[in-house]
């Protein structure tokens, strides 16, 4: 299918917006450090970058405008938004002191995110992916890692009395731990591969509505609980990965043939052949009854009364 004219730039525009949102987190962190705004603004900028990052890929595939430059731009945007920005926000928040060892931890975290993205790009060229690895990421994705790194800041913003959340050692260990999860070989389930049974759709929609409503009143708690649930799913993802690898009968080996989805769509219209009508026969070729034929005796047109014109 040909590219839709005029919208080829849209996926790259979304990626650039995600990049700008991630960079804005550093600006908001400077203002929050001066006491002018809340630290939650910096976290929200990283969260907005994560939302935009989840939209540019599907948009490119939907508009058939995928390109190599778009993939490279997306990786650079992820590195800045989820590797550099969270590290700088945490440095301004808790490590901003002379001779602080926190800067080394920030560098380690940013390098881990860069290595994770480089490995992800190398796996894109793999023509024969492992059948049991479908629906899994290798390591924690960079958007999730960027938000997980900011969990101590989110909880400290909600509970100001917990001063231990701003401990240099705690945040240093946490930052390095999230970086190691990102660059590790630990599998994590891709949300786009999750299939929900029909009977669970309605309860999940109700839970989603409640979570969105609670997000307006308690954004810190909702974000922390959601990230905590994501972090707790990693042991289950590892067990499921090993289970699928050791049970070949569960692999999806069926190749679905999709006809009509080639590079060019062709519309076929069926037209019935025209049949020539023969005198004394119906359109299907069968002979007509004598009473239905024209020119039979007793029905001469000259014997009919003519209509007088006025």
Q: Please report, for the chain, the start and end positions of each structural domain, with discontinuous segments joined by +.
A: 10-250
Compute the radius of gyration of the chain from its Cα atoms: 33
- Give, in order, the Cα–Cα distances in Å from 28 to each of 24, 48, 76, 172, 247: 6, 13, 21, 21, 49
Round to whole Å and give the CA distance between 222 and 213.
10
The pair of structure tokens assigned to 66 is 């995928």
Rounded Cα distance between 116 and 121, Å, is: 9
What is residue 287's three-state secondary structure? strand
Sign of CA dihedral 215, 220, 226, 229: negative
**Is it the case that residue 310 has pLDDT exceeding 70?**
no
Mean pLDDT across the chain, nearest whole number?
80
Fold of 10-250: 1.20.120
In total, the chain counts a number of residues equal to 310
Is residue 234 within 8 Å of residue 137, measured between CB atoms?
no
Please, which contacts does 203-206 make with residues 24 or more away whose CB atoms are closer than 8 Å?
none
Say if CB 187 and CB 241 are below 8 A apart. yes
Number of H helices, E strands in the chain: 10, 2
Distances (CA, A) of 124 to 68, 142, 282: 11, 16, 65
Residue 3, helix vs strand vs coil: coil
User: With 90 as the cut, is the pLDDT of residue 179 above it?
Assistant: yes
pLDDT in tens, 73-104: 888 999 999 999 999 999 999 887 666 788 89
Across the chain, where does the E strand assignment appear? 136-138, 187-189
Query: In this structure, what token pair is assigned to residue 76?
Result: 């650079």
Is it the case that residue 288 has pLDDT exceeding 80?
Answer: no
This prediction's pTM: 0.74
Give the number of other Cβ atoms within 10 Å of residue 199's Cβ.
7
Which one of 44-48, 54-58, 303-307 scores highest in mean pLDDT? 44-48
DSSP 8-state symbol, 281 = B
């Amino acid at each position: 299918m040909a590219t839709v004219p005029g919208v080829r730039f849209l996926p790259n525009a979304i990626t650039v917006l995600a990049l700008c949102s991630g960079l804005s987190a550093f600006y908001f962190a400077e203002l929050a450090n001066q006491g002018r705004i809340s630290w939650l603004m910096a976290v929200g900028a990283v969260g907005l970058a994560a939302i935009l990052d989840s939209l540019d890929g599907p948009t490119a595939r939907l508009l058939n405008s995928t390109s190599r430059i778009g993939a490279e731009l997306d990786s650079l945007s992820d590195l800045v938004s989820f590797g550099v920005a969270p590290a700088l926000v945490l440095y301004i928040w808790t490590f901003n002191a002379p001779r602080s060892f926190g800067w080394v931890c920030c560098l380690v975290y940013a390098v881990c995110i860069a290595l994770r993205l480089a490995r992800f790009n190398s796996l894109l060229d793999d023509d024969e992916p492992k059948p049991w690895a479908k629906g899994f990421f290798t390591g924690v994705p960079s958007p999730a890692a960027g938000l997980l790194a900011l969990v101590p800041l989110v909880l400290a913003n909600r509970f100001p009395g917990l001063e231990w959340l701003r401990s240099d050692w705690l945040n240093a260990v946490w930052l390095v731990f999230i970086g190691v999860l990102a660059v590790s070989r630990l599998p994590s389930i891709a949300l786009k591969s999750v299939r929900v049974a029909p009977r669970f759709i309605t309860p999940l929609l109700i839970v989603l509505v409640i979570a969105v409503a609670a997000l307006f009143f308690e954004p810190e708690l909702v974000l922390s609980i959601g990230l905590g649930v994501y972090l707790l799913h990693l042991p289950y993802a590892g067990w499921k990965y090993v289970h699928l690898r050791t049970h070949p009968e569960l692999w999806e080996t069926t190749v679905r043939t999709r006809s009509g989805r080639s590079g060019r769509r062709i519309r076929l219209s069926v037209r019935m052949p025209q049949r020539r009508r023969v005198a004394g026969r119906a359109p299907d070729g069968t002979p007509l009854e004598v009473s239905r034929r024209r020119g039979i005796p007793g029905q001469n047109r000259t014997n009919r009364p003519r209509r007088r014109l006025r």
